[in-house]
Amino acid sequence: MEIAIVGAGIVGIATAYELACDGHRVTVYEQRSAAAEEASFASSGLLAPSLLIPWAAAGVGAASTSLLWGRQPAFRMVRGAGRAEYAWLWSWRKAARSANAATTLAALEQLGRYSLERTRKLSAEFDVDIETSHGMLVLLRTKNDIRKIQPVPQLLRDSGQTIEEIDADTARLIEPALSGDVALLGALHAPGGESANCRLFAQVMRYAAQELGVSFVFNARVESVSTHPATLQIAGEQTPRRADAVVLCAGLASAALLQRLGLHLPMAAVHGYTLSAALREDLHAPQGTVIDPVHRITIARQGQRVRVSGGAELGHGGGEHHPDTLQKLYSALSGWFPGGAQLSPQKIQIWRGARPTLPDGAPAIGPSGIPSVWLNTGHGASGWALACGSARLLANQIAGAPMAMALEAFSAHRF
């Protein structure tokens, strides 16, 4: 088939690669001049366990999470937030408490494992160093902190993953640079935890896809998609481009493109921040990933850099950075790993990006219900962790091949 993909973020590139592996002729249309310039640009890099990524799913920590109020609210409303954002937040709360929450978590867990396997296999095939680091610690200051990630630990254990409860001394043996000054009760340790550089992988995969014959058309903004037959209208072009099928991987913009086709996908831009700092001293830096579940901050090693991440803002915020959130990230990095990174402003990359998030945190993968239009979008806080698996599953679905897992939890019609 002739397949058009909208969007060259990590999800669009992975989808293009998998469809090309299956023998389709694939063209990717991207509005920016390069790949992975939007949400996939500087994500925190966490791959596994995907459910431990903060904001991965509404059902995580639902019993103890205050959404907007209290000392550590999960979200912050910023400039531009209006009725739509409040309504979305209400849907998130509803999804967290719904009878389907456990099913969604189980499906996300399965997709995370499947995707990790695919990501590992592909990076071995591409034979590149994607700055992988191993091991993940969830730091616990009090016994109550573990409530913030319930019921994930048991879910991971039930699926055969190792999650150990360890004391503070053992945590400091695993991450020797963890500051002794910070009061720590203990940690959860995921020895199979993994982080890597999403943008780097996306770029390598783009070239691998090109070698399989995929065409990338940059600076091409898709204004609309039509069906019967499937066409894409590119901004500035007279004639719509034809395809046998279209896959929407346009992150946040997928919802707007679908709206014009009559399908409402309740997606919100949940903005967050990453600070990337060059290593100062290896011995004082994290070796793997460390998560603070109360403040929802992650600190991960990426090659010769350390990346700290956090914040969840609803509203465009005028594109401005929130000083308090940035300060929290700086404090977390220098507090947990003093002397590990170079914190002078010239050496730090600050990035504010938007997680394209559906109310339960899970993506939409599969047929849209509109003829010839398929979806692989809305991966929220875990698009890097889920991209390779989602792409393989979608390719199998298009091929009518046996599925490695059921996709009901990812239907676009579940809302």
Residues that bind ligand FAD (CB under 6 A): 6-12, 29-32, 36-40, 43-46, 53, 221-222, 249-251, 253, 272-274, 309, 353-356, 377, 379-385
Residue among 294 and 385 whose Cβ is closer to ligand FAD: 385
Least CB distance to ligand FAD at residue 193 (A): 11
Evaluated on CA atoms 167, 170, 172, 175, the torsion sign reads negative
Is the Cβ of residue 165 or residue 324 nearer to ligand FAD in the bound state?
324
Distances (CA, A) of 38 to 109, 221, 322, 351: 25, 14, 19, 10
Tell me whether residue 7 or residue 359 sits nearer to ligand FAD (CB atom). Answer: 7
Closest CB 180 distance from ligand FAD, rounded Å: 27
Measured CA to CA, the distance from residue 223 to residue 29 in angstroms comes to: 11
Output 110 or 170, the one with its CB closest to ligand FAD: 110
Phi, psi torsion values for 315, nearest 5 degrees? 115, 155
Smallest gap from Cβ 91 to ligand FAD, in A, equals 18
Please say which residue, 7 or 61, places its beta carbon nearer to ligand FAD: 7
| C-alpha to C-alpha distance for 415 and 411, rounded to whole angstroms | 9
The torsion angles phi and psi of 367, rounded to 5 degrees, stand at: -70, 145
Whichever of 45 and 367 has its CB closer to ligand FAD, that residue is: 45
Tell me the closest approach of the beta carbon of residue 143 to ligand FAD, in angstroms. 26
The structure tokens listed for 204 are: 């390598």
- Residue 61 CB, shortest distance to ligand FAD, in Å, is 17
Question: In this structure, what are the phi and psi dihedrals at residue 205, rounded to the nearest 5 degrees?
Answer: -70, -30
Residue 158's contacts (CB-CB under 8 Å, 6 or more residues apart) are none
Report the candidate in 22, 27, 17 with the shortest Cα–Cα distance to residue 242.
Answer: 27
- Please name which of 267, 203, 280 lies closest in space to residue 40, comparing C-alpha atoms: 203
Q: How far is the CB of 25 from ligand FAD (least distance, A)?
A: 19
Tokens of 29: 């249309």
In the complex, minimum distance from the CB of residue 393 to ligand FAD, in angstroms, rounded to a whole number: 15
Q: How far is CA 51 from the centre of its chain?
A: 10
Q: How far is the CB of 1 from ligand FAD (least distance, A)?
A: 20
State the DSSP code for 331: H
Nearest to 37 by CA among 224, 272, 203, 266: 203
Cβ-based nearer residue to ligand FAD, 236 or 345 = 236
**Closer residue to ligand FAD (CB): 317 or 380:** 380
The Cα–Cα gap between 305 and 49 comes to 21
Residues in CB range of 339: below 8 A, 6 or more apart = 280, 281, 284
Shorter beta-carbon distance to ligand FAD: residue 91 or 377 = 377
Minimum Å gap between C-beta 21 and ligand FAD is 18
Torsion angle (degrees, nearest 10) of CA 203, 205, 209, 211: 80
